[in-house]
Structure 1
Amino acid sequence: FDKEKMVFWKKGRSFKYYFENLSTIPDILKFKVFDSVGKKIIGTLDQRFVGDYGESGNIFVLKGMQWRILNVDEKSFIVNVEPFRAGSITVPYWEGENIPVEYITARKVGLLRTKVKRGSLKLHNDILSKLNFDSIPNEKTIVVESVKSEGKLVLHACFGTKINSTLSTLLSSMLSSMLGYLVEARSDAYRIALSSNSRISEKLLIEVIKDEYDLLNIITASLSGTHNVNWRTWCVAKKFGIVGREAIYERKSARFLYDRYSKTSLVKEALRELFHDKYDIEGTGKILKKIRNNEIQINWCDIDKFSKLAIPILDHTAKYYSSPSNVDKAILDMIKSRLFKTKHRLVCARCGKWVRVVETNEIKNSLSCPYCKARQITATFYSDYDLPKIIQKKHSGKKISSDEKHKFDRAWKVSSLIENFGKTALIVLSGYGVGADTAARILRNMVDEENLYKQIYEAERQYVMTRGFWDY
């Protein structure tokens, strides 16, 4: 751009930028999820999920099972995981996009509820007819369920996905600032769930809802640092050319971009897209005004147990998952099965002439070379064609390189383990990343079969978690 002549012209990068941004759908890299027990790919995660929740130790659900993240290999785009034995999930129950329910649709649901309660309309289930509330949650009534023992509230509000999302963000922000405790919020088209370590009283909730706010500024401030705004900022930064197309999303980097460009068009566009897709500032303002004018009533219900109408939102906020008591044995059985199916290339460490490819379960305890009758049999991975040549080269008295000497010395260590421990040594060496030294330590500390497989598994975990540092 020439400021004096006020002329634009195209450069080489203009064409690249144009063709990379033809689509309005953001490019999302996929990470493969690798099961460190079964040694197989079990699925994929997109870069947003990995960037937000891909910390070691985090638990998530995939293929109907819980998995714990061991580490993330950003070079290979692989997330190494292990089956999780027991505990609660630390990441959201669902991460993705749902089609929002509009206010008009939610309002009609409220009208249907009123008809069902009055008896003018019948449904197959009797959830609504059996509610013990003084009034039914509908388009003109917000019913609040409060269970003192659980420190949670459920607001039944038929206002649709976007308005409820805006309301939940507002309530979470304002209640947190007034209570001094974090108030967590989740919403769907018909409910808002609030939970906190502090008691949320009826007086406080109504006071907060009926107060007047600058919604846009409050919601904008509340969104700062959240996953939604971080991701949206990252996507817009790609469109602006600030972030490369192949860049891997990372939460800290996205937060830095948001802070760095908070007063620029980048963040303004990110917030505009976010408000358009997930929030309804104008609609929420109208609802709050109706509440202040008593056009929409708020009914508070102190109860001992949440109603069935509240279950859908509670299932997503306080679900506890526990694995079967025999999961340890199940994992060990999987490890054992995999180790027994591992292929090895057996080589005579004396002459290097005898070579055989076998699976672990085919091995006999006693091994010897049919050519030289030696019992020094070593093992390597089944596609290693160089080791026999190195052994023969050494046996004939020829000079070998330092790398070949390293492989030869390792072969003798392995042969010593196999000679002393037989098939058990090969089982240990079948472990992913288990070398001669690690195998020797495991065999030295072996107590029983179960303990052996646990030690192999732990060695595999350590290898997966530390492998990324080995290249440096």
Structure 2
Amino acid sequence: NVEATKTVVDLISEQMEKGFEIPSDKVITVESSGSSDNVAIINCCFGHRVNETMGRVVALLLSARKGRNIGIEIDPYRIKLTPASSKEVLEVIKSLRPEAVPELAERALLDTKLLQWKIIHSARKFGYLSKDLDLSRINLRKLVIKLKDTPIYREAVREIFVEKMDVEKASELISQFGKSIKIKVYDSLSPIGLASREHAFDLLMPGKPVEALLRIFRQRLEKEVTVFHCLNCKYTVKTPIRLIGDLRCPRCHSGLIACFNARRKLEEIPKKELHRIANLVLSHGKKAVLAMNTHGVGAENAARILSKYYENDDKFYLELMEAERRYIRTRGFWD
């Protein structure tokens, strides 16, 4: 894509012209507007799993220093922290010890839904929890605390470290900060930092009209495989969304149908959530199915999207596309 290439080249040129370093695997930049109430961006080209580890650790330590929660967004090239200043972030980075990263990364997982659900999955594997248990009746936070330091807990943390984080590589890179890896600090946002605040594929596909993006998005969504589950007789089948016609159970003719993406496992979804999904499908039909199969859209977010008025189908699909884009940018499954 010639236009996309030109956009990237122009951005790098502007970065250099304004006196900012180009972030790379040998240079990380820390920048902000200078106010402790604004956003701070760490531009670091270490990949998603390393940045996930570093971002969570830095946010944890910043939260402890400031006495308030720190919002975080992570992608393979940057870590965005709110509220924070570049000075505060630099102080935390300088205080990091490589040997402390594993423990800090584990502490950063506490109170996250990711750890809670990994604990549930691990507890079921160990036979501690029944697969038929109604999870809506469990205080997941208390369960995590109760199981802390048990084999169930250790297995859940191990899976997260393998799948979502790279503690070993993050520790190795942190040991090189100020040595083979330079740290540059700025009290203003660079062109690259400002670009990161825009929508993710505005930079990757700048010449694509919205209509073309919507068409691609709709086609992909129609091909998604959804689980069609009847809450009345438990009839369950997997099917591409495009093949769905009547949203009633072919066996018992009930309209209480929960539809969710086949990437999720039925046994891991609480009964309360299944009933909420089924009510959305009952009220909104196929639009609810489309919403529940959009990446990053759960029952709560789907209900918000479906409650709005849309002049036409394009407006509805645009809302779904924006929701998916926000999820990709913010890594919502950590929250």
Give the TM-score of the pair, scaled to structure 1: 0.37
Structure 2, unpaired ranges of 5+: 201-282, 284-306, 308-335
SS of 2:184's equivalent? strand
- Residue 186 of structure 2: aligned partner: 301
- Pairing of 1:167-186 with structure 2 (within 5 A): 167-186=54-73
RMSD over aligned Cα atoms: 2.7
| Alpha-carbon distance in structure 2 between the residues aligned to 1:279 and 1:251 | 30
Where does 1:47-86 land on structure 2 (aligned, <5 Å)?
A: none
Change (3 A) 1:160 1:251: farther
Please say if 1:130 is aligned against 2:14: yes
AA in 2 matched with 1:296: I
In the alignment, structure 1 residue 161 sits paired with structure 2 residue 45? no
Alignment match, 1:210: 94
Q: Which has the higher strand share?
A: 1
* Residue 301 of structure 1, CA deviation: 2.0
* Greater displacement, 163-172 / 245-254: 245-254
Q: In the alignment, is the contact (CA less than 8 A) between 2:41 and 2:193 conserved in 1?
A: no
Normalised by the length of structure 2, the TM-score is 0.52
- Map of 1:111 onto structure 2: none
Question: CA 1:226–1:257 in 2, change beyond 3 Å: closer, same or farther?
Answer: same
Q: In the alignment, does 2:164 pair up with 1:278?
A: yes
Q: Could you list the runs of 5+ residues in structure 1 that have no partner in the other structure? A: 1-121, 317-431, 433-456, 458-472
2:115–2:157 contact (8 Å) kept in structure 1: yes
Aligned partner letter, 2:81: L
Question: What SS does the aligned partner of 2:163 have?
Answer: helix
The aligned amino acid for 2:91 is: E
User: How many residue pairs align between the two structures?
Assistant: 192
Alpha-carbon offset, residue 308 of structure 1:
4.9
Match of 2:118 in 1: 232
- Local SS of the residue matching 2:186: strand
CA drift at 1:178: 1.6
Q: Give 1:13-412 correspondences, 5 Å limit.
A: 123-125=5-7, 126-131=10-15, 132-148=18-34, 151-196=38-83, 199-202=84-87, 204-211=88-95, 212=97, 214-250=100-136, 253-292=139-178, 294-303=179-188, 307-312=191-196
1:416 is matched with none
Q: Distance in 2 between matches of 1:140 and 1:224?
A: 31
**How far 1:310 sits from its partner (Å)?**
4.5
State the Cα distance separating 1:254 from its structure 2 match.
Answer: 2.5
| Local SS of the residue matching 1:182 | coil
Which letter does structure 1 place at the counterpart of 2:191?
S
Whether the aligned pair in 2 keeps the contact of 1:233 and 1:267 (CA below 8 Å) is yes
**Amino acid aligned to 1:209:** I
1:266, 1:238 → 2: CA distance? 9
Name which of structure 1's ranges 283-292 and 236-245 shifts more when overlaid on structure 2.
Answer: 236-245
Query: Based on CA coordinates, which of the two structures has the bigger radius of gyration?
Result: 1
Distance 1:251 1:163, change over 3 A: farther
In the aligned structure 2, how far is the partner of 1:313 from the partner of 1:276? 29
Deviation at 1:286, TM superposition (A): 0.9
Aligned ranges 1:423-438 → 2 under 5 Å: none
The residue type paired with residue 200 of structure 1 is S
Shift of 1:139: 0.9
- SS at the partner of 1:174? helix
RCO higher in 1 or 2 (8 Å CA, sep ≥ 6)?
2
Q: Secondary structure at the match of 2:42?
A: strand
Q: 1:17-71: per-residue Cα shift (whole Å, max 9, x none)? A: xxxxxxxxxxxxxxxxxxxxxxxxxxxxxxxxxxxxxxxxxxxxxxxxxxxxxxx
Q: Which amino acid in structure 1 is aligned with residue 5 of structure 2?
A: L
SS in 1 for 2:128: coil
What SS does structure 1 have at the residue aligned with 2:14? coil
Q: Report the CA distance shift for 1:241/1:133 in structure 2 as closer, same or farther (over 3 A).
A: farther
Q: Is the Cα contact below 8 Å between 1:193 and 1:313 reproduced in 2? A: no
More helix by percentage: 2
Amino acid paired to 2:168? E
> How far apart are residue 208 of structure 1 and its match?
1.6
- Using the TM superposition, give the Cα deviation of residue 206 of structure 1 relative to its aligned residue in structure 2, in angstroms: 2.2
The 3 A distance-change label for structure 1 pair 158 and 276 is same
